[in-house]
Amino acid sequence: MKSRVFSISIWIVAMLMIMSCAMVNRAFNNEQTAPPSAATITEAPEEIQVTESVPTVEGPRRLTQEPSPTPLVVSADDPRAILDLAHPDHIDSFDNPDAWFDYSNPDRAAYKVADGHLTGIDFVPEEKNTWWSYSDVSSGNLYAEVSATNGDCIGRDSMGMAVRVDSATAAGGYSLEVSCDGAYRFRRHSINGNPVELIDWTASSAINTGPGAINRIGIWGYQGRFRLFINNQEIDKSWDTDYLFTFGTFALFTRASQTYDLTGTFDDFAYWNIKYIP
């Protein structure tokens, strides 16, 4: 009897030992697989996507040239058809005050480049003299044009442009002027004397009239032959058989015939050199 009780006791002890080992192993395994405590959690950094920048191909750097106000298409019999009207040899938007001669004389006139314009004031009405401002560029055979805006004008108060002006004396050359009341004239100026009327005052429907009117004045000059344009219309021709002035600078002028302190402004000056015509 005692040996049987002893055997049962041994079996019970063995079973208790097996169960104890199983519990220990389970606890150990749970400890290994349990999530870490909140104090030890660290988030993995987000993946950073690196993109390579591809440089944009812009091509060569160029100066931007202002378009000419002249229409790019003219008729085949227009003398300007031989020119590259889209690309003048010189453009002046009156942004450079040093490009035109400025002065102020209360007994004569005043000229100044400012705010993208050349402004001229003729203080005293007269017919003998024309006071103008001249440019720092020159040409011989050419086509030149400029936009002229009337001030508070009347009658034969006028705005004009001259070509082939003698750069040493600022005199001479040929001028086309447009009056407030709708007429034009073409003159050859003298260095020491009175101007010669190559075309006297002539009315034209191509001219915009009155105060504030804008007219585009153009002179085509090849040797002694001239063709005159106003607002892109050819309005006349002239031939100076003496051909006194072959090369020179440009001049712009406001000329008072009746109005004291007459003001006018100029904008968008351009010229093209004319190559030899056989």
SS3 readout for the chain: CHHHHHHHHHHHHHHHHHHHHHHHHHHHHHHHHCCCCHHHCCCCCCCCCCCCCCCCCCCCCCCCCCCCCCCCCCCCCCHHHHCCCCCCCEEECCCCHHHECCEECCCCEEEEEECCEEEEEECCCCCCCCCCEEEEEEECCEEEEEEEECCCCCCCCEEEEEEEEECCCCECEEEEEEECCCEEEEEEECCCCCCEEEEEEEECCCCCCCCCCEEEEEEEEECCEEEEEECCEEEEEEECCCCCCCCEEEEEEEECCCCCCEEEEEEEEEEEECCCCC
Ordered by start, the domain boundaries in the chain are 93-273
Q: Give the pLDDT of the chain (278 residues) as one tens digit per residue.
A: 444 444 545 554 555 555 544 444 454 444 444 444 433 334 444 555 545 555 555 666 655 556 567 766 788 889 999 999 999 999 999 999 999 999 999 999 999 999 999 999 999 998 888 999 999 999 999 999 999 999 999 999 999 999 999 999 999 999 999 999 999 999 999 988 789 999 999 999 999 999 999 999 999 999 999 999 999 999 999 999 999 999 999 999 999 999 999 999 999 999 999 999 88
CATH number assigned to the domain with residue range 93-273, chosen from the 4 options 2.60.120.560, 3.40.50.970, 3.20.20.450, 3.90.1150.10: 2.60.120.560
Q: What is the dihedral of CA 28, 31, 32, 36, to 10 degrees?
A: -170
